[in-house]
Structure 1
Amino acid sequence: MLWGLSALAYLLGSVSSAIIVCRLMGLGDPREAGSGNPGATNVLRIGGERGKLAAAITLLGDLLKGLVAVLAARWAGLEGWQLGVVGFAAFLGHLYPLFFGFRGGKGVATFLGVLFGLNPLMGLAFAVIWLFVAKVLKISSAAALAASALSPLYVWWLSGQDQALTAVITLMAVLLWWRHRSNIVRLLRGEEKAPTQSR
């Protein structure tokens, strides 16, 4: 059951909210504009007057992919690290979507959805850290990097020191950092900009 649900979660994760929303709203392909990333931040950047609405819908869609995958696995009777594996599959589908040439987003919202599915307090911890760093630095990539870097700590604590689940979340955080490697370079150079600024 675990691997069957993981396969379905990967397919769910492969549905790119950003690409679908942009097509429906006539905003073009987010992979070909702005930062080239099919995620909520880039949709906000390229969306013009409709950017906020398009980005909000994209964010919700990406979050729901992780949340629904984990909740469905919980409903099917899976627990602990197995829920993490199913969430990881949805996250992986978002990063490397089967339906869109394996050119996916950076996974922040889907990561958040997985955490909320595992434990609302885990999702809340991620969101609070993200909001704090974003408020201070006004750079969404830095906020995502900080929130994900700390995720193994609060997942370990809130899961009752579940080492297997913490390992899965750590792997997700590593992949999220890998997907943000160009952002990290720009941050180190002081070139990273706010979502509403063009690159």
Structure 2
Amino acid sequence: MSSYLPFPAAAIIAIVAAYLIGSLSFAVIVSKAFGMADPRSYGSGNPGATNVLRSGNKTAALVTLMLDAAKGWLPVFLIRHFGAEWGVGPGVEGIAAVAGLAAFLGHLYPVFFSFKGGKGVATAIGVIVGIAPLLGLATCATWVIIALFFRYSSLASLAAAFFAPSYYLIGGNIAWPLHRTVLVALILMSLLLFWRHRENIRRLVAGTESKLGSKKKV
């Protein structure tokens, strides 16, 4: 298709591929590879790195974290650096952000796992790092600071989700280019992260939320 079209076939293929990559639930895959119980069967039931950590296997949790982040980063990185050659269209930055959002949605609603996925924190951070490494660093630093002070993974995730679009807007055209589509994608991811953490928010308010390092019986 002609390169002047806003959404050529190559862009649609890239976005669909990003969703399929995001649909790989590495918490389940890694746990099976390590001979562990399905993370959906214990703790919070969330197929994510934090719940895998509750099993006590830190290596499996770290591998899950890295792979979940990588599947958000990879589509964004590839499209930003090779999208023009692949013919995804002139708005490479915007299409990369949409592909990142698709990978994030794949983690939340994976086609390979009955559309029952994780909360998407690591994948979202991977997407953000792919968009702008400094933005990813600022977002990760926010998560780490809140986690260290309060010991709640969910609270740290909510803070990072809130500040990521704000950082992007404040640093736009200073530390990184500012693109409207990218900003919208970041806001949508932030809203979805809050939605996926709604039960955690209730437990935080009630004072019953599990802290980092606590284990649930597997």
Interval containing the TM-score (normalised by the shorter chain): over 0.9
Separation (CA, whole Å) in 2 of partners of 1:148 and 1:30: 23
Aligned counterpart, 1:76:
83
Separation (CA, whole Å) in 2 of partners of 1:98 and 1:172: 19
Structure 1 residues 111-130: aligned runs within 5 Å:
111-130=124-143
Separation (CA, whole Å) in 1 of partners of 2:159 and 2:92: 27
Separation (CA, whole Å) in 1 of partners of 2:170 and 2:180: 10
Aligned counterpart, 2:37:
28
Aligned counterpart, 1:179:
196
Separation (CA, whole Å) in 2 of partners of 1:111 and 1:31: 20
- How far does residue 70 in structure 1 lie from its aligned partner after superposition? 0.4
Deviations 1:113-133 (A, max 9, x none): 001101101100110000010
Separation (CA, whole Å) in 2 of partners of 1:121 and 1:7: 27
Separation (CA, whole Å) in 2 of partners of 1:54 and 1:147: 23
Deviations 1:101-154 (A, max 9, x none): 111110000000001101101100110000010011011110000011111111
- How far does residue 163 in structure 1 lie from its aligned partner after superposition? 2.6
Separation (CA, whole Å) in 1 of partners of 2:201 and 2:118: 16
Structure 1 residues 158-177: aligned runs within 5 Å:
158-160=171-173, 161-177=178-194
Separation (CA, whole Å) in 1 of partners of 2:215 and 2:37: 16
Choose between structure 1 and 2: higher helix proportion: 1
Q: Give 2:63's aligned amino acid.
A: I
Residue 147 (1) aligns with residue 160 (2): yes
Separation (CA, whole Å) in 2 of partners of 1:32 and 1:192: 18
Under a length normalisation based on structure 2, what TM-score does the superposition of the two structures give?
Answer: 0.86
Separation (CA, whole Å) in 2 of partners of 1:2 and 1:31: 34
Q: Give 1:76's aligned amino acid.
A: G
Deviations 1:42-97 (A, max 9, x none): 00002x3xx11000000000000011010111122252222110100000000000
The root-mean-square deviation of aligned C-alpha atoms, in Å, is: 1.2
Contact 1:42 1:195 in 2 (8 A): no
Aligned counterpart, 2:106:
93
Separation (CA, whole Å) in 2 of partners of 1:36 and 1:56: 18
Aligned counterpart, 2:47:
38
Q: Give 1:53's aligned amino acid.
A: T
Separation (CA, whole Å) in 2 of partners of 1:82 and 1:158: 20
Q: Give 2:141's aligned amino acid.
A: V
Q: Structure 1: any 5+ residue segments left out of the alignment?
A: none
Q: Alignment partner of 2:54: what SS?
A: helix
Q: Give 2:67's aligned amino acid.
A: G
- How far does residue 166 in structure 1 lie from its aligned partner after superposition? 0.8
Separation (CA, whole Å) in 2 of partners of 1:143 and 1:32: 24
Under a length normalisation based on structure 1, what TM-score does the superposition of the two structures give?
Answer: 0.94
Q: Give 1:167's aligned amino acid.
A: V
- How far does residue 195 in structure 1 lie from its aligned partner after superposition? 3.2
